[in-house]
A and B are shown apart, each in its own frame.
Chain A
Amino acid sequence: MTDQSQTRRPPLIRLLLVLVPLAAMLGAFVWIASLDPLRGFNNGAPPVEALTVERAILDGSGISLKVRAGGSDAMVVAQVAVDDAYWSFTQEPAGPIARGDAVWLRIPYPWVLGEAHHVNLLSNSGATFGHEIEVAVSTPSATWGQLRLQAVIGAIVGLLPVALGLMFYPAMKGVGRRGMNFLLALTVGLLAFLLIDTISEALELSTEAAAIFQGSAMVWLAALASFLLLMAIGRWRGNPEGIALAFYIALGIGLHNFGEGLAIGGAFAAGSAGLGTFLVLGFALHNVTEGIGIAAPMLRARPALWTFAALTLLAGGPAILGMWAGSLAYAPQWSALALAVGAGAILQVMVEVSAYLVRQNADRQATLMSPAVLGGFLGGVAFMYATAALIKI
């Protein structure tokens, strides 16, 4: 009855009811803009200026910087000094840089291989914006040899460990209820580590991005959105289990590995990675557990052989894509966004694997605190933490 008590208005009236507040809002904006009520606060202070260096490319023609402006007015880069020496430069496109816009600054500076350089950008008001090039190395360009080399490293840190982990499948197949619980909890544990790691990396990257991207908010909201979307998709037809759940885990881990690839590729580009064999092996060992985690929910199913290949590609392949993207088109805000999406995906599979684990056991509450589950979870976190020590520089 209460639903019916509201009378249905004719469409024209309903449209009008929307248009009136919209028109009022528009009118108010025009009025405020023309009145400029903030004029009274004008105390002669110079405009707020902000410049963010998003990308640095070093090659035979010198140093190129991609610079994004974020001031209250359009900004002018008046002079560029490298290592406390004013240097000639060109700007593409030329002219004042509007808020939110990015330009390239080309500086024909003879940088020195393996040494640090400091670039200082002077605006027309004399404000300075520094950018540190910690180790100068030639920025990788999109040559065939370069792409292939990165693909090999991407395969070693992404594809290989997942494949190795999945090879434990036959051995895991015979485990009983407690063993199964242990493996599923282990999966949740390693995912928990990845979640924390991914979020903190995304937040760290987002601080390097221009303020206009609102890094922290962007990371949390992107993670939330990706979590909700994947949850909705996953539960389209009931709770994901078995092979389907394995694919969701592979997707979440794949997105994480994409972020990991971005980080390695970005480090390549920035010259900070003397990416030794030790480091690559560390990544591989770190990621072996990912294969075990993917295999865990399929123990009651009968997956075809191609399933394993597909899972490996989905979970490990993005590491290669990430390497390419990270070294060739690095920008802190996009890397942070990719990592945040990955974090949402990881949270989704954590929820689904936990739900699956609980459903597998009749005595639900007791199961969660059982030695097998707690041991698996903590073991997963601890293993990831320990192996991460190998790869953190």
Chain B
Amino acid sequence: MPEQFTTLTSKTLVLAQENIDTDQIIPARFLTTTSRHGLGRAAFYDWRYDEAGMARNSDPFAGKDAGEHQILVGGDNFGCGSSREHAPWALSDFGFRVIVSTKIADIFKSNALKNGIIPIEVSAEIHADLVANPGTEVVVDLERCEISRPGVWKQSFEIERFGRRCLLDGVDPLGFLQNCENEIAQFEAART
């Protein structure tokens, strides 16, 4: 069951590279699990650890507390490549709740939303500002579909409506159906 999401104020973590594909987000060798728990360690594994499993100097997440940085700003075409639900699982388990880019690849976007991550596409200007100011505080308001850098800019974003509804209520699609049990029972009764 995804955690309810209404608004979030958090710092950003910026990975400005374009075309970050799902093989980078979680390398295929970690896909043998069907559980989403603990996959945070596999997120961007080959970017963070070398062959011996030691942290790389270039680890973009080094010293970044996941709880403080819940908004990931990625380069254009974030999440392209293989359809892989483990990608949002890994990012979510790592602690991200929002992905921001100028373009988020379609399948990843849909997988993310179903797994409690808000995929937000912003204009090139806003994106450039976020890339230029890593770690800045950003507010995401899912009720109003607005993202803002307080005092600097505010922009509305598009999001698939049913996914948004589920996240506002803190349910997954099955949970949504279960909440409709009375209506379903009434409908069934009227038919028989």
A and B associate: no
Binding site for B on A (CB under 8 A): none
Binding site for A on B (CB under 8 A): none
